[in-house]
């Protein structure tokens, strides 16, 4: 199975709508319309609001845009494709390792590779990134070893990398708080007189957080050199976007006094062009920009989530047709690479992805097991009686398993002798 087929081949529970379900959906849509809600339908280029920046169609055809464009060499295009394929393979391995009990949790980026790789490759080395917990593709672009991302999800460290080595902050679990960190850092960059820029990643659900609104206010007032990159993957866990906003997310920037733009989040070329433009604007001292990457979360919110409970197979199938990796591959095969060259490139890349996957498995399985008692450390600086009591209770609970195993081992031979 090829890496590109990961999304399309993932088994899904059948969820065909009955006539009653369809009628209920239609009734809900009608009620939403009466309530003033505007469903977040995907726009098409050339139509009225909301506008969508697109340079590569889902069919792999190159199109032009009057404001945004990129002129990339064959090697650069192959590099973007390689980034997305290896990122997807790493993500698939991490998901499998969680299912095998090697990780406690994993947040998959499946379907969002173009948004992350396109924006990540638009950055300069001196720019600074504030991610959430799903920006594995951006981490790849910043040179963070993929295996360093896994320690936190295994429970053996709090991050695993030095943020200042790659200008890539540690993952942030608290929803939306990293936008405040990014704004403050960007204000400091401006006071220092540097021409670098800052980018903050967050999701459509986080856009409803007060921290994000405060970040927009401060960044606008202080003209901070920051790009707010919102990956609108349509679902804040089980909450659809239309239940969070009455306008497209990028239009929220207008109320704070800076521009917003919606880009096809499954088009790596458009994401590169739009993010590069926003970063350059920030460096020129023109303040913040909100980029809404209109994409889709192919998998679960995290491995503890079951998306079949709140969305239908036909929705995912429609977005699989817009797969970011397949569309770039189509373009490469049609316009960039010759027959023999294409075959050699894709074969070598598949082999490279296998090597990466093997290394990820080996590194994770060589990691120590989490220290179950560490959760009680550093809760209070001087200790606390209740924490001490809970620690003792949990220690006794853990010890009971060892006692039961020992009892079973001791009884084993005697039982067998009867």
Helix (H) or strand (E) holding 118: helix 113-120
Report residue 213: phi and psi, to 5°: -60, -40
Instruction: Exactly one of 17, 124, 310, 380 is catalytic; name it.
Output: 310
d(CA 418, CA 406): 20
Beta bridge partners of 70: none
Instruction: Exactly one of 134, 252, 281, 301 is catalytic; name it.
Output: 301
Q: Which residues contact 414 (CB under 8 A, 6 or more apart)?
A: none
d(CA 307, CA 328): 27
Instruction: Tell me 289's DSSP state.
Output: E
Residue 108: which region, alpha, beta or left (left: phi > 0; alpha: psi -120 to 50)? beta
| Tokens 């936190």 sit on residue | 152
Helix (H) or strand (E) holding 232: strand 226-232
* Pairing status of strand 128-130 against strand 198-203: parallel
Instruction: Exactly one of 297, 316, 327, 329 is catalytic; name it.
Output: 297
> Does residue 199 have a cis peptide bond before it, meaning omega lies within 30 degrees of 0?
no
- Asked whether the beta carbons of 153 and 164 are under 8 A apart, the reply is no
Picking from 411, 383, 360, the residue whose alpha carbon sits closest to that of residue 102 is 360
Give catalytic status of residue 301 as yes or no.
yes
* Pairing status of strand 289-294 against strand 260-264: parallel
d(CA 40, CA 387): 46
What Cα–Cα distance (Å) separates residue 95 from each residue in 88, 117, 296, 308, 374?
A: 11, 19, 18, 17, 25
Q: Is residue 365 classed as helix, strand or coil in its secondary structure? A: helix
Q: Is 103 exposed, middle or buried (0-12, 13-18, 19+ CB in 10 A)?
A: buried
Helix, strand, coil share of the chain (percent; to 5): 55, 10, 40
Give catalytic status of residue 133 as yes or no.
no
Tokens of 17: 């709508």
Tokens of 96: 């499998």
Give catalytic status of residue 281 as yes or no.
no
Tokens of 274: 């739009």
Which are the catalytic amino acids? 297, 301, 310
């Amino acid at each position: 199975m090829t890496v590109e087929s990961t999304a399309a081949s993932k088994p899904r529970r059948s969820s065909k709508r009955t006539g009653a379900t369809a009628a209920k959906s239609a009734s809900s849509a009608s009620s939403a319309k009466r309530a003033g809600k505007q469903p977040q339908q995907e726009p098409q280029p050339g139509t009225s609001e909301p506008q969508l920046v697109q340079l590569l169609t889902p069919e792999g055809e190159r199109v032009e845009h009057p404001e945004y464009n990129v002129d990339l060499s064959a090697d650069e295009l192959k590099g973007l494709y390689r980034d997305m394929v290896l990122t997807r393979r790493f993500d698939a391995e991490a998901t499998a390792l969680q299912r095998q009990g090697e990780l406690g949790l994993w947040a998959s980026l499946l379907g969002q590779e173009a948004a992350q790789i396109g924006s990540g490759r638009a950055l300069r080395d001196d720019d600074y990134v504030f991610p959430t917990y799903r920006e594995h593709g951006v981490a790849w672009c910043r040179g963070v070893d993929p295996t360093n991302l896994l320690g936190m999800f295994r429970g053996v460290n709090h991050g695993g990398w030095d943020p200042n080595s790659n200008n890539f902050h540690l993952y942030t679990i608290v929803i939306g708080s990293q936008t405040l960190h990014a704004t403050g850092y960007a204000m400091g960059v401006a006071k220092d007189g540097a021409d670098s820029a800052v980018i903050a990643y967050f999701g459509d659900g986080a856009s409803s957080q007060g921290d994000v609104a405060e970040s927009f206010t401060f960044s606008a007032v202080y003209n901070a050199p920051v790009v707010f990159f919102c990956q609108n993957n349509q679902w804040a866990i089980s909450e659809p976007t239309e239940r969070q906003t009455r306008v497209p997310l990028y239009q929220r920037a207008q109320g704070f006094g800076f521009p917003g733009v919606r880009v096809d989040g499954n088009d790596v070329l458009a994401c590169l062009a739009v993010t590069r433009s926003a970063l350059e604007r920030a460096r020129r001292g023109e303040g913040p920009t909100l980029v809404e990457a209109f994409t889709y979360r192919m998998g679960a919110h995290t491995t503890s989530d079951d998306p079949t409970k709140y969305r239908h197979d036909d929705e995912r199938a429609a977005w699989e047709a817009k797969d970011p990796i397949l569309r770039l591959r189509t373009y490469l095969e049609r316009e960039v690479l010759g027959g023999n060259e294409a075959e050699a490139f894709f074969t070598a890349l598949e082999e490279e992805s296998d090597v990466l996957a093997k290394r990820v498995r080996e590194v994770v399985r060589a990691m120590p097991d989490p220290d179950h008692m560490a959760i009680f450390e550093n809760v209070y600086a001087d200790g606390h009686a209740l924490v001490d009591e809970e620690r003792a209770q949990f220690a006794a609970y853990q010890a009971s398993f060892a006692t039961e195993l020992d009892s079973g081992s001791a009884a084993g031979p005697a039982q067998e002798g009867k």
